[in-house]
Amino acid sequence: EMDQKLKNIQNSFIISIVSLAVLSVMSLGAVLYATNAIDLRKNVTSSELHQLTENFPAVESYLNSQKKAEPHFIKIANLVKSDQQALLGRALLFTGIPILLFSVLLAYFLARKLVRPVEQTFADQERFLQDASHEMRNPLAALYAVVQDARTSNNPKEKDKALTTIDRQVKQLVKLNDDLLLI
């Protein structure tokens, strides 16, 4: 029963830590993707095309000389943005999955490390209960045997000896009980 309780605690703890790690990585990835994808989904307009090229005079002058081809340049710019969006998705996939796996493994090992003291405590408690049970049974078994012998004996000296043994065993049980209560 104690082992089952320990396993339940351990499993719950590990699931919580791993879930938190997965949620954190996925949230970070979703935020990064969303912030970049929003910008990449917008189509380039004529004014945006000119804004993009204003720091490049040669490109700006070429665009001005090719006004008829401006829709074609806008289409190319939008295709480039579309490719960037696909690249962003792939980059997120190829970086997100290893990060996710690493964080899950790290969370699992950290959770195991944190659960070890709980496991040790349960093991110590179980060992203590077994030892205490054993220590309590020995004097009780001796008492039972002495009482049985005293009942069947008609000799007063043997009955007196039995009472002395019972007295000693009861004192030992009282001391053991006091020690257990102190612990």
The DSSP-derived string for 99-158 is HHHHHHHHHHHHHHHHHHHHHHHHHHHHHHHHHHHHHHHHHHHHHHHHHHHHHH---HHH
Residue type, 182: L
Q: Is the pTM of this model over 0.75?
A: no
Per-residue pLDDT of the chain (183 residues; tens, 9 = 90+): 667 777 777 777 777 777 777 777 777 767 666 666 666 566 667 777 777 777 888 877 877 787 787 788 778 777 777 777 777 777 767 777 777 777 777 777 777 777 778 778 878 888 888 888 888 888 888 888 888 888 888 888 888 888 888 888 888 888 888 887 777
Contact in structure between 6 and 119 (CB atoms under 8 Å)? yes
**Residues in contact with 48: Cβ distance below 8 Å, sequence separation at least 6, in sequence order:** 77
